[in-house]
Every structure is written in structure tokens, then in C-alpha cells.
Amino acid sequence: MAQRSLLYLFGATGMVQIVRAVINTTDCPVVLDTPNGTMQPTAVLAKHESALLILLGFGGFSLILALVHNAIRKHIFHDERNLDTTFDAGGDITLSLTAVTVASQMFWPADILQSATLATKLGISGTFWYGVGVIINIFIFPVFSVQFKTRAPGAKTYLQIIHARFGTKAHIVFCCFALVTNFVIMTAVLLAGKTAIQSLTENVSDEYTLLVMAALFGSYSLIGGIGTTFYVSYFNACLAFVVLTIFFTEVLYTNSSGFPNLGDVSKMYSIVSCVEGSGGNNFMTFQSESGIVYGIVGFFVASSIVYCDQAAWQSRIAAKPMQGVWGFILAGLMWIAIPSTLGNTTGMAYLTFSAENGTHLLTASQIDEGLVSPLVAEKVLGPAGGIMILCMVFMAVMSTGSGEVMAISSIIVYDFYQTYIRPFRRNVPPAHCVLCGKASTVEPNIETEEADICQCPSAINCKQCSEDILSANRPANGGRPTHKCPVHGLFRTYQDYLIDFKSWCIVWVSVCIIPFGLIIFSSGIDLNWTFFVGSIVTIPAFPAVVLAIMWVKQTPEGIIAGGMTGLLAGIAATLIAATRYDGGLTNFVVNTSQEYSILAGSCSSFGFSLIVCIIVSSFTHKIKTKADADAEWQKMYDIDNPLNPWEQNYREELKHEVYDKKPSFDQMSTTFRRTRIIAYVSGGGSIILFTFVIPGIMASFPALDETQFKVWIGLTQAWTVFMGVIAIVAPPVEEILKIRKRRRINQTQDAKVLMVCE
């Protein structure tokens, strides 16, 4: 059986190479030739089996989660008819659920495939430096998350901040950047999904692949909103950790596959350490120039994802500040375990197979498409391995893809439709009530008539609103309910309309995935090109978005000039660097995705954008005093939904503060001062550990010997198991405790109402 399997994989010529490798594994170095033919993972599922697994398995499971989430929001939290709940899941996501969601959504479908690609090209340094580049952003984000949640606690998109501070022109420019970011990420998701489905399923067309993905993304997003995405992300993380544990155990320790050099780390080390990579790279060293370059590039790529993707902000600001800070730190620790362990495991297995065969089993283009992981999984574990990789990829596809659908829908609802097409009240000045149009606060040193000050009562304590909500739950004729509150009724009707519009928006965004995907598939671009080159057009927005939240002197002229300059500089630098490779721009896809082309484009995009933003803003700002700065921050602070004011979500943290309708900016800053300190200390400490301490230790060895390699692999695997236990156990425990706490609050409130009625 083992001989038949080997013949099946390599053929007669491959058997000779295996014997040579086993007899004399010390012939170093081994230079792998390019393959004469191509080898694809064997299809392990028929088309109908794939449809049943994906649509009924994943799709049905996600729909059940959506219904469960809806039931919880309806019967426990009583906010299922709230537009904001669709996009922030109530704004009170637990620490551990935040962590697994951030880790899961940063663990793109591309990462399952890309980490193995880099391990195949660069060895252990590729997966490590790639991971470091990504988690730096995860560890930095708590600082920005705290600032976002305390300076603009009512914002649902980061573009609302751009609009509030910088006006229409800057808002439209960055809406375009945001949508381009969504398109780049969706492209990577679709390409990764296509690779997984078509490599492991027989006779699958592009149209079938896209139809399956569109149905998955849209179905449970429509029913459960972003809250369901959190639940799906949890199961995605659980599946990833379980499958990864099975996979590295089989490849590195047990080996029931029949391949002679698997299942023994010593044998695999002796083979892979003799393989010479492209450009003479040593696969067993951290002193890899190419690895460090990919780490730098990975930092910029992840920056464009974390700070310019509305899906990233949407998932990450759904938690309160303290839960968000610790959730991000835990997410980074979870995330780094997965691609490093998966990349090292599949990369080593692939290089072992290739060294035995004397030639790469996949062409360079197939490696860039991400076929290493599916190939190794299917060859080592048989059909079960192919199904496991398909499950991992598709759970990640569902998590990331649905997040992008929700992100695009939220931009359309909040930043286009509600802002420009059908606003409730047009041309409302900053710090004015959207209900009555009057000033919501009295500006210092400006005389204001009492009649011009907003007197609207809070919707939370409005008796008429309570009656409207009760009647809305039992409409007389099944149509849209009529709201009778003279203050909030019209706005509540407007919100009902937006909820209906939101549903149609999710449907149409999901439908548009099909023609968009067909265009992408026919263009011929691969996953590697999309992952690195596509982000160059989104990186210029990164400095502007961060400065909009952190720097009071940022101006609309600065962010527009910076964003456009960075975009042009990044594209130009990429094209110029690509001409230095053989074939120049005639070999466009290959040369623009070379490491130094990507490095030049990324650094230029970021550097020019940041410098121009700062210089132009320094000359155009009008901030002279603290009062000017406070007035500027107040523009963000006043973003709110009068039916669902953000203040009620922070009452527990603000219970020692005295205020009228909502706390002052200084009160919020004081309340969460400790959280900000924790964000700086924990984030900074984590960055130092993973950027300097661990790399410094590992790079002190010119190349890892067998013992050092075993220690490194053992530590990464132990960390994976440890993080897997936390990811599996903590979220459901915290979620159950949160639901129990809310039920007790509901029972107390019901008892008070009953006493009043009696």
C-alpha cells in the first residue's frame, strides 16, 4: 500500500530519488529543479458532495447560529430591531469573543495558504517574519481602539469620523479608499475560496464557486448581522486549532501516510536543511534578508487591512474599551500560533517531498496560488486531509467574506445613503440635535437664546417611546408599525426604513459578488499578487485614518493631499522597481509582486502619505488654544443615535460621574485613563517581545541545528495547543455569564415596573 501511494505521488523516477535521499541525506546542498509537469491536489469530493458540505453543512450551521443570535438579542437584550445592533452586535462583546474574532478575521483564508507559500520559499524565517509583521498591527490597535471608543463612542464606521471632522470632500475620497480596500480583501477571499474548492472538488466551474460563496456570505449576514459573524468566527478559530493540531501531529510525529521520511522531525530536518532555496537561502536560518523584507511588507499590508478596512473597525469597536484592549492582546497571541505552525508543518512536508523527488512538485505559479497546503494535506491524510483543509479555508472564507459584506453594507447605509441620499435632516451643523436641528450644547463665549437650545428628552426614559416599542412588536396588520411619539416617532420610522434598506443592501452586495468574481478570475491575477500588490493602493489611507483619530491638528487638506500623493508614489515606486527584474513590466504580474517591488511600493505609499499629511496639516490647521482642540474633538464626540445613545452602554463604567444626558469629553477621558495606560504598556511590551527579543535570540544562530530546530518547533506547537484551549473554552463561558447577568438585570427591572403598576 505504501509503495502504491509513493508511485501514485512521484512515479517511478520519484522512487529512485526517494531511495537516494534515504541512503545519503547528507549530500548538501540539494538544489530543486523546476518541475517538468504539474501536480495538483487530487479532488476528494464530487460536485454534489461539495455542495452538501458547503451549503448544507457550513451554510446550515451558520444559519442556525444566526437564528440563535437573533433570539438572544430579542429575548435577552431586546434590541433586535435596532439598526446599530446589526453593525455592532450591541457594542458589548466579551473579551475572549473579541479575541477569537480578531484572530479569526486576521487569519485570512489567504493566510492558510500564504503561510505555506512563504515557508516553501524562505523556510522558517518566512512564516515567522510574516507573522511578526501582522501582529505588530494587532498589538498597536488597542491604543487606537481606546481613542476611537472614547473620542467617538457613537460612530459605527471610521468614515463617520472623517465626515464629522473634515467634511464632504475628504469623506468622499476616503469612502473610495475604504471601498477599494474592501474590494482588495474580497478579491483575496474569492481567490482563496476558488483555490480550495476547485483543487479538492471534481469538475467545478467558476460560476458554481462564486454562487456558493455569495450564498454563504449573504445568508447569515442578512439574518443575524455582524453578531453572527462573531459566533462563526469562534467556530472558525476552534476548527483551525483542532485541525492544525491533528495535522502537525500526523506530519511530524505519528505518520500513518506511508511516506518514509514523515513522522520523524530528525529525518525531515536532515532533508530540508540540505535544500538550497532561491538565491541560496538557507531554510533553517532567521538571518534571512528576504524574510525580513516580507516582514516589513507584511506590516504595511496588515496596516492597510487593520486601519483602512471597515470590517476590521466594525468587529474591533464592538467591544468596550477595556475588553477591546485585552481582546487585541490575546488575539495577537492566538493569531501568531496558527500561520507559524501551519506554515512550518506544510512547508517542511512539501520541501521533504520535493527533495525526495529531486524537483518541485508544483510550479512557481501553483505555489503562488496557494496549492502547497491542499497538496500536502491530501497526500499525507488522504481524502480526510483535503476535506480538513477545505473546511479550514471555508470557515475562514465565511468569517472574512461575511465581514466584508457587512462592511460594504455599513458604508452604503451610514456613509452614502444616510449622509447624502436620504438623510433624516439635511445640513445639520456640528453639535446640533438631529431631531430638532437646535444646538445640543452651549458654546462658550457665544450668547445663545434659550429657545435655540435642544430640549428633546432622552428616548430611553420616554414613556411614549416605550408604548411605540411595545406596539411595534405586535403590529395590527403585519405592516410597518406607526410610531406616535411626537419627539422620536418620525426618527423611529426613519430607522425602520433604514433597517429594511439595510437588508436589501446586504442582498445586493452578496449578489454583486458573482460578476465581480468572474472579472477577477478572468483577469489571471493570483493570490500572492493580490495579497501584496493590491494593498499598495490602500496603504496611503493608513496614516490619514490614524491621524484623524489621534492628532487634533489634522486637516481635510492634509488627509486628501497625503492620501493622493501616497497613492501615486506607491504605484510609481512599484512599477519602477519592477523594471529592475528580468522582463520588466512585460512580465507584469510576476515582477510587480517581487519582494523589492512590494517593499518599494509599500514604503513609498506609507512614507509620502504620512509626510504630506503632517506638513500640509501643519500649515492649514486653525487650532490655537485648548478650547479650539476641544471643539475639534467634540465633532467626533457628538456622533450618536438619539434612539440608542452610546451613553447607556457605558453606565456601569460612568456610575461615579454626574452628568445630564451624556458625560463630558473630559469625564470619558478620565474614566478610561487606566485603560489607555494598559493599552500602551501591554501593546508596547508585546511588540518589544515579538519584534526584538524573540527575533534577537533566534537570529543569534546563523542556522538552527537539529536540537535548536526541535526546540523551536516544539515551542510553537505547545503554544498552538495552549491558545487553542483558551480559544475553545473561554468565549462560550464568558458569553453565558454575560447572558445570565443581563437576565438578572431584566428580572430586576420587570419587578420594579410591576411594583409601580401595583
Cα separation, 575 vs 592, whole angstroms: 7
Distance in angstroms (rounded) separating the CA atoms of residues 155 and 556: 19
Same domain, 682 and 645: no
Give a yes or no: residue 583 inside a domain: no
One domain, residues 667 and 690 = no
Domain with residue 138: its CATH number is 1.20.1730
| Chain centre to alpha carbon of residue 478 | 39
Q: Which parts of 524-648 fold into alpha helices (H)?
A: 527-532, 541-550, 556-578, 588-592, 595-620, 626-637
Report the run of H or E that residue 121 belongs to, with start and end. Answer: helix 109-122
Altogether, the residues listed in the chain come to a count of 758
What's the pLDDT at 28?
59
Identify the domain containing residue 284 by its residue range. 2-72+95-153+187-423+678-724
Contacts with 740 (C-beta within 8 Å, 6 or more apart), sequence order: none
Residues 665, 685, single domain; the answer is no
Domain termination site, one of 626, 649, 671: 671
Q: State the pLDDT at residue 474.
A: 60
The residue type found at 291 is: G
In DSSP terms, which residues pair with 45 in a beta bridge? 201
Residue 36: inside a domain = yes
Q: What is the DSSP-derived secondary structure letter of residue 441?
A: S
Cα separation, 391 vs 301, in Å, equals 26
Q: Are residues 344 and 385 in the same domain?
A: yes
- Residue 86 located in a structural domain: no
Residue 325 sits in the same domain as residue 392: yes
pLDDT at 555: 94
Q: What is the pLDDT of residue 110?
A: 55
Cα distances from 642 to residues 21, 24, 359, 459, 645, in angstroms, run 72, 75, 66, 7, 5
* Structural domain includes residue 114: yes
Calpha distance 658→667 (Å, rounded)? 9
C-alpha span between 171 and 192 (Å, rounded): 32
pLDDT beneath 50, residues of the chain = 1-27, 36-37, 445, 477, 756
C-alpha cell at 255: 505518520
* d(C-alpha 287, C-alpha 695), whole Å: 9
List all residues 6 or more positions away from 429 whose beta carbon is below 8 Å from its beta carbon: none
659 and 692: one domain?
A: no
Backbone angles phi, psi at 282, to 5 degrees: -95, 125
User: How many Å apart are CA 376 and CA 680, to the nearest integer?
Assistant: 41
pTM score, two decimals? 0.82
Q: Are 654 and 712 in a shared domain?
A: no
Alpha-carbon distance 21 to 14, whole Å?
A: 10
Residues 707 and 662 in one domain: no
Residue 544 belongs to some domain of the structure = no
Q: Is residue 339 a part of any domain in this protein?
A: yes
DSSP H or E segment with residue 389: helix 383-410
Which of 584, 721, 574 lies closest to 246 in space, CA to CA?
721
Q: In the chain, how many domains are there?
A: 2
Q: How far apart are CA 370 and CA 610, in angstroms?
A: 33
Residues 300 and 338 in one domain: yes
Please answer whether residues 299 and 138 qualify as being in contact, where contact means their C-beta atoms are separated by less than 8 angstroms.
no
Q: pLDDT, tens digit, for every residue of 235-251?
A: 888 888 998 898 888 88
On whether residue 51 sits in a domain, the answer given is yes
In-domain check, residue 412:
yes
